[in-house]
């Protein structure tokens, strides 16, 4: 009986340690993701501010009454440089896995923040296209929706790992449709892409949250703190991308264009 009590006590202690470690891990994931999101929107707002001027002297492009693109704005939005700005974050995402194997957890975190800054540069045009109040409203809506979806993914007892292949297939289709619509310029296709995109990234938010939790529980016994630190950065990247894309899809649906 004493031996059984000892085993039960040991198991309970181990479970408590894993639960505490999981909470710390998720706090690291959400904290890193939140800082990255803040960096992105701060960079986007700052760059958009430098890209627009009310002084027509030396500015050849008027974007609306009384506002003109500066030289920086023309370089970012109207020159071939815009393709570099658009594709650089994508290249960093694809290269993240390879880089992760060669750098420390601290290096991975720095890489993520650099990526978030470049994302801010590529998204800066939203502060020119949409009204500031509209961006703030959609950001709040996205934050509430994301929090609810992520909380559900974390707490649900249902295994939603099977959603992965379906959501990835939907994401690939969404990317193809978006590329095709660059040439079609169809408002109906753009609306459909936005609606479907909201559903896909809502599902990915819950799926990725559960995956982060499951991965930690599977690897917690390893004691490899360096690997777990990198896993937290990867989890933050996944949720960051879900949030940013959900925000952009909702902005295209609900945003008030100036």
CB 193 within 8 A of CB 177: yes
Q: Write the pLDDT tens digit of every residue in 72-94.
A: 888 888 888 888 888 888 888 88
Confidence of residue 253 (pLDDT cuts 50, 70, 90): very high
Strand ranges across the sheet with 52-53 = 52-53, 67-69, 62-64
Q: Token digits for 256?
A: 């008030």
Q: Write the pLDDT tens digit of every residue in 98-120.
A: 888 888 889 999 999 999 999 99
> Cα 60–44–189 angle (5° rounding)?
85
Phi and psi torsions of 123, nearest 5° = -100, 0
Q: Write the pLDDT tens digit of every residue in 34-50.
A: 999 999 999 999 999 89
Q: Write the pLDDT tens digit of every residue in 227-252.
A: 888 999 999 999 999 999 999 999 99
> Can you give the pLDDT at residue 222?
67
> Can you give the pLDDT at residue 30?
97
CB 229 within 8 A of CB 216: no
Burial 66-88 (b: 16+ CB within 10 A, else e): ebbbbeebbebbeeeeeeebeee
């Amino acid at each position: 009986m004493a031996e059984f009590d000892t085993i039960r006590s040991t198991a309970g202690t181990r479970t408590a340690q894993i639960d505490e470690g999981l909470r710390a891990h998720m706090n690291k994931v959400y904290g890193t993701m939140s800082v990255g999101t803040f960096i992105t929107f701060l960079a986007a707002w700052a760059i958009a501010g430098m890209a627009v001027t009310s002084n027509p002297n030396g500015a050849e492009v008027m974007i609306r009454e009384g506002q003109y693109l500066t030289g920086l704005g023309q370089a970012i939005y109207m020159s071939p440089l815009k393709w570099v700005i658009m594709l650089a974050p994508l290249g960093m995402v694809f290269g993240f896995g390879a880089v992760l194997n060669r750098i420390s957890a601290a290096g991975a975190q720095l890489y993520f923040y650099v990526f978030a800054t470049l994302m801010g540069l590529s998204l800066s045009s939203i502060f020119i296209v949409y009204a500031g109040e509209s961006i703030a409203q959609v950001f709040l809506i996205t934050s509430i929706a994301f929090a609810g979806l992520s909380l559900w993914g974390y707490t649900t007892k249902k295994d939603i790992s099977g959603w992965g292949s379906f959501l990835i297939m939907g994401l690939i289709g969404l990317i193809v449709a978006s590329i095709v619509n660059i040439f079609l310029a169809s408002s109906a296709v753009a609306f459909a892409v936005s609606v479907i995109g909201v559903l896909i990234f809502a599902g990915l938010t819950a799926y990725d949250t559960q995956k982060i939790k499951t991965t930690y529980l599977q690897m917690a016994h390893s004691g490899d703190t360096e690997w777990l630190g990198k896993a937290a950065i990867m989890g933050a990247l996944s949720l960051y991308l879900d949030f940013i894309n959900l925000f952009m899809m909702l902005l295209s649906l609900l945003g008030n264009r100036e």
